[in-house]
Amino acid sequence: MLFKLAFRNIFRHFTRTFLTFLAIALGLAMLILIDSMLTGIDQESFDRVINYETGHIKIFDRGYREDEENLPLDKSIKDPKPIISKVKVDPEVAGITSRINFRIVLSDGIDQYPAVGVAVNPADDQAVFRLKQAVIKGEFLSGTEETMVLGEDLAKDFGVSVGDYLTILTRTKYDTYQAIDLRIKGLLKTEDPKIDWAAVVIPLEVGQESLEMEESVTEIDIKLKDPSKVKDFRDKLNKELPGLEIATWKDLAADVVAIAQAKRMGTGFVLFSVFIIALIGISNTILLAAFERTREIGMMAAMGMRRGQIVHLFVLEGAMIGLLGSITGCLLGILINIPFVKYGINWGFVMRDVGDIGYRVTGVSRGVWNISMIVTAFVAGIVISALTSIYPARVASRMEPTEALKRV
Amino acid sequence: MSIVKMEKVVKNYHVGKVEVPALRGISISIEEGDFASIAGPSGSGKTTLLNLFGCLDKPTEGTIYIANQDVSKLSSGQLANVRNRNLSFIFQTFNLIPVLTAFENVEFPLILLKKSRTKERSDMVMKILAEVGIAELANRKPNEMSGGQQQRVAIARALVKNPKVVLADEPTANLDSKTGEDILKLMLEMNQKTKTTFIFSTHDPMVMNYARRLIKLHDGRIESDERM
């Protein structure tokens, strides 16, 4: 009976109830959408970091990471082949390759642009990375030919395309100046700003020769069969390869991981906002209902209804408004999220102006279905609404029957 | 046999810092099956006396017994239990729950008692609705009924749990005289049929005529107590 009474009571003032649950619903829908968007960006960023920048695990020479901002060439792995041979046979390893990362200034003779040079082994780079699949015009590197591939956006900035030449200005391992003229063989579109906006990819042998690196590389990159085992594999390599530094993609992509953590604070803030909306909306609605129904409360008390039952009735009303808000909010959130997941949002119009903010997104980013967040939003809507009803419900229950019955 | 008894009951109210006496040492015993009217001018203490009989309020001094239980110093929760088990109320403004049908309004006190099963409860509700002559209105909500019909529902609601005492505060004040008289006849009929004690307050002479016992109050004291 209390359920029936509470349910009918919330429709006594439909507009008021509607506005209250609509506020909760919009808050929850917003929570679901923001979470979907940010989780989607997180996942895409993590995927791009792994697929284009880090692989699952990297091996460096000891001391490299202390100075990694400067991409030092003198802290390199002198003889990578035995290490690669040893790691390659591990059953956990899906692919392995090696690279040299180095600072460059890219020039067309008129304009110059600071960028990162990445010398890759065209034969086995795709065992770990997906650069080859990201070529949208021309071809990927092959063998030792003196060519480069670079991001489509970077090429546009220089007004060049496949077949044109650009000059890489850099310093060798021994800090002497070096200029390399390379023909553009292909253009990349990875949606990773670190690649599309600022990376020039050349063949490893060309890099080694130009940078006077001989056989050395700055890193060995590993792809695992089971990505969830990165930490265990890192610990294992640490034991097997003393004198080298091993890092997982999470260690290396600290910026993206930090943003993902900040995102959790963001969704927490939205949830807190929903709490405030519910606090004000539900408290106000229940308090008004309590004052409007003082005679009724007095009559119920006169009939022997206990204070706890009166509190129960009003809390139920609050919880039901919360339930309506949760159902509406989750449905609204899910409905709006469908095109968001299917087609995504193109951030391209703003991302280039904003610059590299850590997220590996330059264009379209799709939402995701985060079932746990939808369930959290649903339950939170009801629980928060019920909790915020307790105070006005207690106010209602404390009315003395005689005083309540006197009121018109 | 006494069903409600008061001994030297004093009730004072505080209006700001001033203490205003409402009842000044009332001693009275209401017998089982009484159909008693408490009459008196405004401010004589009728409603205060009825509230104390109904365990809606506590006396400043004195003792009140309901069915031989001293209720003067019970907590609000214990008083709620006493009301739930022994007492029912009929209000001047009917005070039905507007979102419930007549049937559900009458069913409500039975649910608070948590005694009967659904089928048994339904039979009890329909029986009492038939006795007060509005069985056909069982599915109507209060706003779909006249004042007299609503007061009949209120009477059915008061009687459905077989209380020891029904307290009615000016039960006909919001009804026209014809309907008011019908309601009084119904209350008297139910009193005779069920032997339930009725205590009601009024200042309407027509209502007093129906009373089998007339207790007149003046300035918080009993002026007269006559059996008719």
Mean pLDDT, chain A cut into blocks of 10 residues (408 residues total): 85 86 87 87 86 91 87 89 90 93 90 92 91 92 89 90 92 89 92 87 92 91 92 91 89 78 77 77 82 83 84 90 92 93 78 64 79 90 88 81 62
Residue A139 CA: distances (Å) to CA of A19, A212, A321, A323: 58, 27, 60, 56
* Residue B191 predicted with pLDDT over 60: yes
| The length of chain A, given as a count of residues | 408
Co-location of A183 and A304 in the same domain:
no
Co-location of A290 and A398 in the same domain:
yes
Asked if B42 has any chain A CB less than 8 Å from its own CB, the reply is no
Beta-carbon separation of A299 and B95 below 8 A: yes
pLDDT at A220: 94
Taking the C-alpha atoms of residue A283 and residue A389, their distance in angstroms, rounded to an integer, is 6
Co-location of A100 and A226 in the same domain:
yes
Residue to mutate among B108, B113, B115, with most A CBs inside 10 A, is B108
Q: What is the domain partition of chain B in residue ranges?
A: 2-227
pLDDT at A103: 92
pLDDT at A408: 42
What 3-state DSSP class applies to B227?
strand
Co-location of A262 and A236 in the same domain:
no
**HSE-CB of B51 using CA atoms within 13 angstroms:** 22
Domain with A215, as residue range(s), is 63-242
What 3-state DSSP class applies to B87?
strand
Is A311 part of a structural domain of the chain? Answer: yes
* Structural domain count of chain A: 2
Asked if B76 has any chain A CB less than 8 Å from its own CB, the reply is yes
Asked if A304 has any chain B CB less than 8 Å from its own CB, the reply is yes
Q: Which of B23, B30, B18 is nearest to B8 (CA)?
A: B23
Strands A147-151 and A93-107: unpaired
pTM of the predicted protein model: 0.74
Taking the C-alpha atoms of residue A373 and residue B72, their distance in angstroms, rounded to an integer, is 55
pLDDT at A356: 63
Taking the C-alpha atoms of residue B33 and residue B29, their distance in angstroms, rounded to an integer, is 12
Which of B122 and A1 is assigned the larger pLDDT? Answer: B122
CB contacts of A298 in chain B (<8 Å) are 95
Fold for B2-227, please state it: Rossmann fold (3.40.50)
Query: Quick check: A16 and A329 in contact, CB under 8 A?
Result: no
Is A11 part of a structural domain of the chain? Answer: yes
Taking the C-alpha atoms of residue B12 and residue A247, their distance in angstroms, rounded to an integer, is 82
Of A1, A304, A402, the CB nearest to B83: A304
Co-location of A140 and A7 in the same domain:
no
Encoded tokens for B109 = 């006190």
Co-location of A269 and A394 in the same domain:
yes
CB contacts of A11 in chain B (<8 Å) are 99
Co-location of A230 and A293 in the same domain:
no
For residue range B47-105, what is the model confidence (pLDDT) as tens digits? 889 888 888 888 999 999 998 889 988 888 888 888 888 888 888 888 899 999 999 99
CB contacts of A300 in chain B (<8 Å) are 97
pLDDT at A404: 66
Taking the C-alpha atoms of residue A49 and residue A358, their distance in angstroms, rounded to an integer, is 10
pLDDT at A57: 93
Co-location of A92 and A145 in the same domain:
yes
Asked if A309 has any chain B CB less than 8 Å from its own CB, the reply is yes
In this prediction, residue B115 has a pLDDT band, given cuts at 50, 70 and 90, of low
Asked if B83 has any chain A CB less than 8 Å from its own CB, the reply is yes
Whether ipTM tops 0.90, in short, is no
Beta-carbon separation of B80 and A8 below 8 A: no
- State the average pLDDT over residues B195-217: 88
Taking the C-alpha atoms of residue B187 and residue B171, their distance in angstroms, rounded to an integer, is 10
Co-location of A346 and A374 in the same domain:
yes
Contacts of A21 (CB under 8 A, 6+ apart): A321, A322, A324, A325, A328
Asked if A405 has any chain B CB less than 8 Å from its own CB, the reply is yes
Strands (E), chain B: 2-15, 18-31, 35-39, 61-66, 69-70, 87-90, 165-169, 197-202, 213-218, 221-227
Beta-carbon separation of A306 and B107 below 8 A: no
Beta-carbon separation of A296 and B95 below 8 A: yes
Is A247 part of a structural domain of the chain? Answer: no
- Closest CA in chain A for residue B112: A305
Strands B197-202 and B35-39: parallel
Q: For chain B, what is the mean pLDDT?
A: 88
Co-location of A147 and A180 in the same domain:
yes
Is A250 part of a structural domain of the chain? Answer: no
Residue to mutate among B53, B89, B104, with most A CBs inside 10 A, is B89
